[in-house]
Amino acid sequence: MPKLQSAAELEKFRAELLAKRDPAKPCIAVCAGAACDGMDSAAVAAAFLAEAATQKLDGKLEIRTTGCHGYCEKGPNVVVTPGDICYFEVQPTDVPEIIAATLKGEVVERLVYKDPATGAKAVHMSEVPFYKHQTRLLIGDNPKIDPMRIDDYFAVGGYAGLVKALTTMTPEQVLAEVKKANLRGRGGGGFPAGSKWETTRNAPEKTKYVIVNGHEGESAAFMDRAMLTGNPHKILEGLIIGAYAIGAQKGFMYTRHDMPLLEKHVRQALAQATEYGLLGENILGSGFNFECELHFDVGIFVSGESSALMRSIEGNAPEPRPKYIRTSVNGIWDKPSNLNNVETWANVPQIISKGAEWFTSIGSEKSKGTKLISLSGNVVNSGIVEVPMGTPLRTLVFDIGGGVRDGKTLKAIHFGGAMGGSIPADLIDAPLDFDGMSKLGAPIGAGGLLLMDEDTDMIEVARYLMDFLVNESCGKCVPCREGMQQMLQILTRLTEGQGRKGDLELLEDLIEVTGVASLCALGKTSGDPLKSMFRYFKPEYESRIVSSAGGSDNK
């Protein structure tokens, strides 16, 4: 493939590509997302390929291995187009039947969704309860894309945002559009991405960097990996557009080292983008130069913190720096560096191609667009969910999630992993919104939503989360290193029934000091889950003290 020299060449290439594709030709998409992979979807994909080869179906049928479809609970997932027919829990032995039915334009009834209560079947994706309440702007393309093939991304309109930005907009206009869209950072803070971009853009240094934070260390958050593994070009396109707006010459993708498929797909995406002239010098004849490098975290949670991450890219230990040094101005090698999370970058192409007005029509008053949520814990339908901001948690938990497993009742909803918070079941009508959820004490964080059922011991949950953070602290700040250790000891004592009078007051003190005196968010927010539990579940904590005092304090 020769380099695409201009926007016109790209569009011509896309038109030729689409002309060669017959939308009526059946395609069987086998999910190879992390969960399906764990249920051996590779064997299912291999069985499809083998069967197609045996029956010599080359021209009649396409088999595609894709990234995460979303409905992880029911993997391995298979989606057949046209019609988006969803098959769940597919085994290699089901393959000949699916192929035979697909060729005849029929459906394998026994593999489609059945409502556990009513037994009603749902064949098409738009009818399956897990999918039908979602707005899948970001992850919806995953079943259509083989992440190893840039052509598949072009076929769904990929790089149209970049074309528009480079050929019809100035960097200032791109920046203005993102600001107007009020795109807020999806990594946890909810900080307006446009303002952050502007700070880096206006920083005096000429050399500037842009970074994709794909570290995703938050426990029970797995959507960034699904995006980066399943549709790497979408994030790359967002990054290139951002670099153009900011005036950065180089980008870094920072992600996990422990996902071989993710690494393979991102490397391939970078190589293909370079081959097609979407990375490198004079991109699409615009005069804009940009390159991108892949970096790995090597297994510690704190390296997801922005300043720590930048230290890691430099080749140093990931110790966070004080926040008064702003990475937007003094980041990697002290150059202005703009960092956004995977999902934030993934939103950029559609904002540019469809406009800020369209984007702001989705979502709540202050939180625009959709949000990816990793739904897990004691939920019936675990998986990756995408809904407009402002969607009530009830929709997420019951309509999409199918409620609590094993017929139990919901006790709490936990957001944001080890630095998040838990709210009780009666707050289930709260809308999914950055500010609203923060006020309730359960900030969305990156978007890991956990259901906890009636049997959950909240003190044990707090102990578990603290234990996680103690192991992940980099140890630079004493309050974080020692304060969390003390909190862990008290919590452990409580879970073992050895709670003493004054323990809860001591915990409150420790939360405050650790929160005030630590440098980065890890220490600062380490007490947040506890704070939310003191707010909503205090009697449960108090009861531990009473009962462990041998009953003498019983009122």
Partner 1 sequence: MSEQNIDGIIEKYRGQPGSLIHALVEIQHENHWLPREVMHKVADALQVPFAQVMQIASFYKAFSLTPKGRHEVHVCTGMTCHLRGAARLRSKVEELTGLKDGETDADSRFTYETGACLGSCSIGPELIVDGKHYGRMTPEKVEDVLKQYE
How far apart, in whole angstroms, are the C-alpha atoms of residue 206 and residue 200?
10
8 A C-beta contact, residue 410 and residue 397: yes
Q: Is 231 near partner 1 (CB under 8 A)?
A: no
Q: Is 113 near partner 1 (CB under 8 A)?
A: no
Q: Is 361 near partner 1 (CB under 8 A)?
A: no
Q: Which stretch binds partner 1 (CB under 8 A): 34-42, 151-159, 387-395, 422-430?
A: 34-42
How far apart, in whole angstroms, are the C-alpha atoms of residue 44 and residue 110?
17
Q: Which is closer to partner 1, CB of 72 or CB of 111?
A: 72
How far apart, in whole angstroms, are the C-alpha atoms of residue 206 and residue 249?
9
- Least separation in angstroms between residue 144's CB and partner 1 is 21
Of residues 307 through 326, those in contact with partner 1 by CB under 8 A are: 312, 314-318
Backbone angles phi and psi of 170, in degrees to 5: -85, 160
How far apart, in whole angstroms, are the C-alpha atoms of residue 384 and residue 75?
12
Q: Is 343 near partner 1 (CB under 8 A)?
A: no
Q: Which is closer to partner 1, CB of 10 or CB of 125?
A: 125
Q: Is 452 near partner 1 (CB under 8 A)?
A: yes
Q: Is 522 near partner 1 (CB under 8 A)?
A: no
Q: Using the 8-state DSSP alphabet, how is residue 403 labeled?
A: S
**Structure-token pair, residue 407:** 């017929």
Q: Which is closer to partner 1, CB of 90 or CB of 241?
A: 90
Q: Is 423 near partner 1 (CB under 8 A)?
A: no
Q: Which is closer to partner 1, CB of 259 or CB of 510?
A: 259
In 3D space, the residue among 433, 452, 285 whose CA is nearest the CA of residue 364 turns out to be 433
How far apart, in whole angstroms, are the C-alpha atoms of residue 397 and residue 406?
15
- Least separation in angstroms between residue 299's CB and partner 1 is 4
- Least separation in angstroms between residue 134's CB and partner 1 is 16
Q: Which stretch binds partner 1 (CB under 8 A): 88-96, 254-262, 396-404, 428-436?
A: 254-262
In 3D space, the residue among 263, 14, 32 whose CA is nearest the CA of residue 150 turns out to be 14
Q: Is 221 near partner 1 (CB under 8 A)?
A: yes
CA 416, 140, 15, 45 torsion-angle sign? positive
**Can you say whether residue 529 is alpha, beta or left, with left for phi > 0 and alpha for psi between -120 and 50 degrees?**
alpha
Number of residues that bind partner 1 (CB under 8 A): 48
Q: Which of 39, 211, 397, 459 binds partner 1 (CB under 8 A)?
A: 39
- Least separation in angstroms between residue 552's CB and partner 1 is 32
Q: Which of 10, 165, 465, 490 binds partner 1 (CB under 8 A)?
A: 465
- Least separation in angstroms between residue 379's CB and partner 1 is 9
**Structure-token pair, residue 351:** 């904002």
Q: Which is closer to partner 1, CB of 74 or CB of 201?
A: 74
∠ CA 188-203-251 to the nearest 5 degrees? 60
Q: Is 533 near partner 1 (CB under 8 A)?
A: no
**Structure-token pair, residue 259:** 């996902």
SS3 label, residue 282: coil
Residues in contact with 84: Cβ distance below 8 Å, sequence separation at least 6, in sequence order: 124, 125, 126, 143
SS3 label, residue 115: coil
CA 18, 22, 23, 25 torsion-angle sign? negative
**Tokens 């309860």 found at:** 129
User: How long is the chain?
Assistant: 555
Q: Which of 61, 236, 444, 450 binds partner 1 (CB under 8 A)?
A: 450
Q: Which is closer to partner 1, CB of 283 or CB of 452?
A: 452
- Least separation in angstroms between residue 290's CB and partner 1 is 20
Q: Which is closer to partner 1, CB of 133 or CB of 149?
A: 133
Residues in contact with 143: Cβ distance below 8 Å, sequence separation at least 6, in sequence order: 29, 31, 66, 69, 79, 81, 84
Of residues 284 through 303, those in contact with partner 1 by CB under 8 A are: 295-296, 298-300
Q: Is 496 near partner 1 (CB under 8 A)?
A: no
Q: How many CA atoms are closer than 13 Å to the CA of 230, on its beta-carbon side? A: 31
Q: Which stretch binds partner 1 (CB under 8 A): 165-173, 242-250, 256-264, 345-353?
A: 256-264
Q: Is 82 near partner 1 (CB under 8 A)?
A: no
Binding residues for partner 1 (CB under 8 A)? 34-35, 37-39, 72-73, 75, 216-222, 225, 257-260, 295-296, 298-300, 312, 314-318, 374, 376-378, 382-383, 414, 417-418, 448, 450, 452, 456, 464-465, 468, 474
